[in-house]
Every structure is written in structure tokens, then in C-alpha cells.
Amino acid sequence: MSDIEVRSTRLADGRELIYFDDRDSVLPSERRADPRHLDPRPPTATMRLDLLTGDWVSIASARQNRAFLPPAEFDPLAPQSDTNPSEVPSQYDVAVFENRSPSFGPALGDAENAPEGLADLAALGVGRTRTSVGRTEVVCFDPRTAGSFADLTPNRARTVVEAWVQRTAALSALDGVQQVFPFENRGEAIGVTLHHPHGQIYAYPYVTPRTQALLRQVDAYEGDLFADLLAFERTSGRVVLESDSFTAFVPFAARWPIELHLLPHRHVADFTELTEAEKDELAPLYLRLLRAVDALYDTPTPYIAAWHQAPVATHRDRVRLNLQITSPRRGPDRLKYLAGSEAAMGAWIGDLVPEQTAEHLRVALATADRERPL
């Protein structure tokens, strides 16, 4: 069992807040109560079925009210102060709380017009709606008001990994949740609205379109898709970093100018199936990968770091936990924009050769290891 302390409480409007304390934390066990007077939580959003694709779209208008690039002194993810009535009442190491403007939830599977399982969601019909049950959470990586995951210490990174593990377990057990997705958006070019180092976790009431496409591939493939893919990539020239339990590589058919995947060497469906040793190994490995991405250029690189996990109730013996880091940055001052072919037709054209990208990342990794040793 991990020796990272976990403390759960409630914010003034009833949202759950969980503190995860570092192994060597110096913070007191008592935490300040939230003194704010907050408006009631917004009603749960409604999903609408796109009949042309079968995708469900959550219409979450409350998101229009979320904070947009506030100055550091009014950072809503910093610990509360006399002048900043933020979302986290006490000093913290890592904090997780329910999003104030959620895309899914707070209603769960017993809500009116909630999805009635995967078969219900797969049924087609004009004008179909369902309640956007589930949960969306914010993960504050650090109390500092600027930076990203790459700026954490290995000890703090390990605490975040533990938060992902425990929140995956808790969210997967919620009524109506079909998939859990931890991720970090970094940089204004990605659409980030807060500079504070943080990520999010979405607990979806359906299996996402990207994962549904993966499930079709897994079902059609003769053999263990992830095991064969990993074996293929490990013998290629696209490997960037290997450890005892994980391999990071630029994929054979990379779509993005910067695209970096990581797979565990054994089958684990999600974070909950990692051993303590694997979690200890993953934290510094992930830090090194993100620092390599930043070392490619003289300025920080925008990215999405997406932790793909098996659905809660299907394909858990065939879909493996995997990390996919993607960035639209194709040069020091150039971005890839998803225009006609990619955005409208889903037909991708790669701008860079994956083998060359892998070599650039290996050089950047060596630079990062030298300049920012763990």
C-alpha cells in the first residue's frame, strides 16, 4: 500500500475535495474549512446524439462561466488567502476537486433520463437526448501558480500518480460511469485557461469515440494487439526511452508533429492495476519525457498528455493503459492547424517523419537529463 496520505472533505457548495499529501509532507493533518458562500451548483448538462456519427455531445453551457487566464494573485487553484477566495481552502501538496463548471455530472446513473447502459447509448434515433451523468475533476499538481507537470519534483510527481490511481478506482465505481480519462492540457495554444499547473479527470457516461475506434481494431485483430504493437515499436528506431517496465516511442503512423506514446511492458487495463514498484518507476520516467518535449525548443511546448485507459465494463483484458503526448508544434514558431482534411474528414497528413522526430526527442532527452537531472 502507498504511504501517501489521502484526506477528503467538502467545499462550501457540497463538491468533494481530496488532499493527497506527499510521502515527506510537512503539512498538518487538519485542513481549513471552506468559508465561502457559493451559489448552488449548476444543473447537470444534457447530451444530444449526433445521428450522422453516433457520437454523444454534451451541451454544457455552464462552462462559459469558467475563469479565463486570471492574474496570479487571483489564481482559483492556489491555496486560499485573505485576498484570493480560491477553490482550495488550505495549503496542499496535491489537491483534487469536482469542477465547478462540469461537462458531466454531478448527477449520476440514477438521474432522470440517464443512459441505461451501452446498448441504450448505441441505439439510433432522431433527437435523442440523455442526461450528462458522470463527473469532471480538477487535479492541482502543485500549489505554485505557474508551471506544468515537468516542473514537479519526483516525489510530487509520485503523489500525482497516486491521485490518478485512487481517483480512477473511485470514479470507475460511480453509477453510470463507463470510462475514466486523466489528462493535462498545457499552453495557451492548446486552449488552456489557467496557468496554474493542473490537469483534469473526466468520468464519462459512455465509451468515448476514440476508444470505440480502438475497440473495433482490437476485435478485428488476430492476436494481442498491444503486445504485438509494443514488440514492433521496441525493435524500431523510434524508441525514445525505456525502463524496466515501460517503453516510450514515437508511433509508426504519428499524426502530430510531436507525438510520443508510452506503454507498460505487461498488460494493465488502467492505473489501478499498476504495482507499487511500477508507480514508483513511472513518476520520474514521465517527468523525463515531458522535460524532453520542453527541451526541443527554447520555449515551453504546448501539449496534451492523455492517459488512455480501458473502459470500466468491457475489453479490460485487451485494452492496455497507454499515454499519448501530442503537440501541434512543428517548429520554433510554427503550429499545425487542423484544417480541411484533418478537421472535416479525419484524414490526417503527417508533417514530419516519425523516425526523425524520435531522434530529435532522444537528443532533447539527453539535454534535459543533463540540464535538469532528477
Average pLDDT of the residues in 80-90: 96
Average pLDDT score over residue span 71-94: 94
Which tens digits make up the pLDDT trace of 26-54?
999 999 999 999 999 999 999 999 999 99
- Give backbone dihedrals phi and psi of 308, rounded to 5 degrees, phi first: -85, 125
* 3 state DSSP class of 269: coil
In the predicted model, is pLDDT for residue 191 greater than 90? no
For 327, the enclosing helix (H) or strand (E) is strand 322-327
196 is catalytic: no
* Structural domains of the chain ordered from first start: 5-206 (3.30.428.10), 211-371 (3.30.428.10)
Q: How much is the pLDDT for 279? A: 98
Task: Map 175-195 to HEC letters.
Answer: CCCCEEEEEEEECHHHCCCCC
Distance of alpha carbon 154 from alpha carbon 134, whole angstroms: 31
pTM for this model (two decimals): 0.96
- Indicate the residue type of 224: D
What is residue 316's predicted lDDT score, i.e. its pLDDT?
A: 98
Q: Is 278 helix (H, G, I), strand (E, B) or coil?
A: helix
Amino acid, single-letter form, for residue 242: E
Phi first, then psi, for residue 243 (nearest 5°) are: -135, -175
**Residue from 196, 198, 261, 308 carrying the catalytic annotation:** 198
Cβ-based neighbours of 124, under 8 Å, separated by 6 or more: 49, 51, 54
Q: Give 101-160 pLDDT, tens digit per residue.
A: 999 999 999 999 999 999 999 999 999 999 999 999 999 999 999 888 999 999 999 999
Confidence of residue 64 (pLDDT cuts 50, 70, 90): low
